[in-house]
A and B are shown apart, each in its own frame.
Chain A
Amino acid sequence: MTERLVFDAGVVDWALAAAALLVLAASLRFLRALPWPLRLLRACSLALLAALLLRPAVDTLRERSSKPRLAVLIDSGPSMRALDDQGLARLARAVRWLKRHRSALEARAELSLFAAAGGARRVGFDELDRLESASASLEAGAAAADVLDSGPPPARVLLLSDGASDSPEPLEGGLARLGAPVDTAGVGPRRVRPALAVSAVQAPDFVFLHGRFPVSASVEATELAGARVQVRLHKGDKLVGSAEFEADKPFTVFQASFTAEAGSLGRESYRLSASAVSPDGKTIETARGLRVEVIRQKTRIMYLAGRPSFEYSHLREHLKSDPNHELVSFVILRNPENFSPVPDSDLSLIPFPAQEIFVQSLFQFDLFILENFAYTRFSLPVSYLQSLRKFVQEGGALLLIGGSNAFTKGGYQGTALEDILPAALWPDADDYRPGLFQPVVAAPSNPLMSLGETPEASAELWKALPPLDGWVRLASLRPGASVLLRHPSEKTPAGDPLPVVALREFGKGKVMIVGTESSWRWKLAGGGDWRLASFYSRFWNRAVEYLTGSLDLKKVKFSPLPDRMPPREPAVAALRTFDEHFRPLPGSETDLRVLWTPPGAKAPRSTAFFEREPGLFQVELADLAEGRHRLRAVARRRGQPWGEDETEFLWQKVKGDAPLDRKRLKAVAERTGGRYADLDRLEPSALLEGLAPPKRERLASSRRALWGSPAWLWTLCALLFAEWFLRRRGGWL
């Protein structure tokens, strides 16, 4: 044990001591005439005063060794509860390893233990036995911040994990913020089993409708040397592509690339699967889902008119004027039975490309418009109408515009196309009636009809329109169809109001019928009434948007959910409600119920939700069972049904055979300058090699403040008294 003189003086004290010494130096000139004992006494007094101002103290020093800080992060995310081949949870294995090697670790390092789920929480050895895996995955960035906040920066970090965090942030990036090497210990099955894993799936987030896009993936084959690995890409049940590889090493990584085509708007789900037969004859399979958002680049429209008409002229011009439309149109200028008095070279006619329209290029279009087109007149094969039906079934949109050659008279009764129309056709071939009529809005709250700023303004606009000319008689409305406009007096044979504009969803597509070819009269009305100047274009824009899926008419809508929800609780879903003008509809104005059907449940049950912001609701589901869950939202407004929507998702707990992601853990170690080892093979000595040796350092165990002793005051007084006494005696006062 040693001692050390120290001074506790602050800046002010040092300044005062310096001042005292300066006074001493300055006064020496005046003291020169005095005898030396007096000069000595004065100098001693001032020196003593300066020394006291510096607050001298004595430290008692004790030697000890300083160990480097080792931060141990124990991944306690959901995957760590998985049982491995020893029947022990991974978290329990990590804890067991730590307890077993506690003394060896503590001998060389100052241990700081953290349970890492989401962020990192400081734990002691006594808490380890009670540690349970949480529902949140390890989030590397948050965990690193928590470690740094807990004390001095660690000299080294040990991460005990299976690397199966589903956090979007890369582990290596987050942990690199610790600024220290991170050694990673893989907690997982001891024995390396034959396995396949689909990793690093790459596909564009957004693709254009009908566009082709690449999908690629890395497939890792472990302990499958000599086996053939089949990689397949499916869209639903349909096989998009497949590839086959041969594993030639114990660990082989294949790159599989496919080209897919976006067939319908919205989210498309794909499944990338890999399978192989292991050396012991077992089939090993793995799969991973991916989703792409399909958006529209341009609306591709095919417009086929049976004869020239003002309807065709105006609607074609309107559709063509929109740069977002890609319009291909054909109008029959001469029917097959018509005689031509001039040679063909004097006519601008071209052959009717029926096969190209109905077969070859049909599925490239988003919307097919048939206006007053008599199908029978051209002796077209039945397969063309079947093709058109399939086009709708697979997501295309069909708009039939009436006229004297359109529906029954056009030969559509009893065909494959009639089934998909919103209304059954009139049994009599003479289904067209000329004459003016003022249509009545049958669904004023439908967004397709809400063409004014307010419901009242919309109603005024509809009333101000000029009458339409001629209508097609229809038999009866089909189930699920909606009537938007009806005839003011005409009835169907069943006595219902005659639909003039009606729509229906069929398969994945939509069908709309407009039973008159005189909507162009609405366009001309703009010349006489400024309020109607853009009515025609607004109506047809809405119609095209609705038919092509750009206008979603649902007033209650769940936000898209991933196919497979992350294995954590609560599972969260968002729901939006809209009013008739598609503005957010607050919860105070609607009676909303959310029904949850867990897997295997016979009946749905109401579940709670809260309104995050007006019109946006959050549903949180806990105590989830494994399997497919269904959510249904039903809204009523002013006592009337307002809308409903359904969604579903798959929820699964972490599987016991979740792979140990060595690659990920190795990446963490490589990035930070640490080392990787499987937990079973990790020896503390190897880990501790990377730590700096303990430093020998002397620490003050106690401090005695010398300046606090009254002896100093007495000494100073004695010096000053002695000086006074000598001066008095020598007559130097």
Chain B
Amino acid sequence: MKMKKFLSLCLAATMTVGVLGGCGDGGSSGGSTGGNDGGNSSGGVEEITFMVWDDLDASSDLITQGYKQSIDRFNKDYEGKYHCKVVSTNLEEYYTKLNAEVAANNTPDVFIVSPGPNLDDYVLPGTAAKLDSYLNADGWKGTFTSDAVFAGGTYGAEAKDGAGIYAVPLNIAAACVFYNTEMFEDAGAKVPKTYSELLDACKKLDAKGYTPITISAGTAWCLSMVAGYLCDRNGLNLDDVYEKKTDWYDAKVIKAGEQIQELSQYFQPTAAADDNDVATAAFYDGEAAILIQGSWAIGQINGSCEPGFEKKVGVFAFPAVDGSSADPNRVIAKSDSLAMSATSQHKDAAIALIKYFVDDTAQKYTAEVGGKIPVTKVQYDESVAPPELAYVMDVFKNANATFGFYNESLADTEAGSTFDSCFVEIFKGTDPKTALKPIQDYYEANVWK
């Protein structure tokens, strides 16, 4: 008897599915869907796909929300002509999914990418299109701050399609040290200029019962950002490593490892398990005093923190290492960039979309709301922009040079992950020389051949 109930349920289910399926079909003939099938147009609208690493609808990150606004403006202005369909994944699996789309000849028309080995993966085999002709048309290139902003997207003859620019930057983020001014004041800690002063500040904060530093070793790149800074401040030159003038057992890397271990006594106790979100939240919630993070944090602070919190936040450059001759005014910088598929059927639409990300409205938003450094000569209102941006701009202006995130600056993506994991091991207490073996081995097997 119960069987009947079950069968009728099934039947109902089938019917629902049928009806829904019908709805879906009706919808697609209306021209709004079409999946990743290259955006074949229906009803004269050219559809392009845009792939991005954050959920545009749900994210509280203001930079992400800015991207959504650009797309919305594009869709509205070109209604009936172009339409942009967004494919979003989360950051962790972004390149994976993008690779899969590329492998299936489904490359999205426009996709976001970080310059470095990640971009290499698309430029070298000719997946990404050369953009010079578009940039040079109508003086588009002249609207950008300088040619230097294109450095990360510029390739030489090693690219399949020849030397040129393959990615348009959208904004620049610099990795800085954010600190809670109230806690610093309360503990009598000073803004540190050197590593030993940083230890001293941590000691004071710790004595007052604050968690001095919040950091994530559960998401490996966060810890490795600090490791990258320490390596750099100790004077390591990545090119030397690449050319095998030195190796990963270099005393400078070992020293950076020992410093991570020394600092780790001031990390929150759950650092090993916390992912990036949890670790940053501890700073935003006023549980920890120091957060070492990219300046995209500004967009998050202003997007998701208690109102008023942003007034408590100060920013300083990563301290120098005492006794090291390395330039202490080097900043880790990263730009989100857009690349276009070389096989796109709708290149004009794609370029039109990219322009919406770097037009004045979008770039003003980037600075005033998102708190990232804009890439065009746009005039923005500094009084509206988050106060932290001014600090970050200071750090950035004082910088003598920028360098990339270590995990995005090594020989390839797997080398980057290996570097990250080595420093997680060091953080967990393994002797630096032992912990660095995997990256040394990886370079021996794959890079220094």
Partners in one complex: no
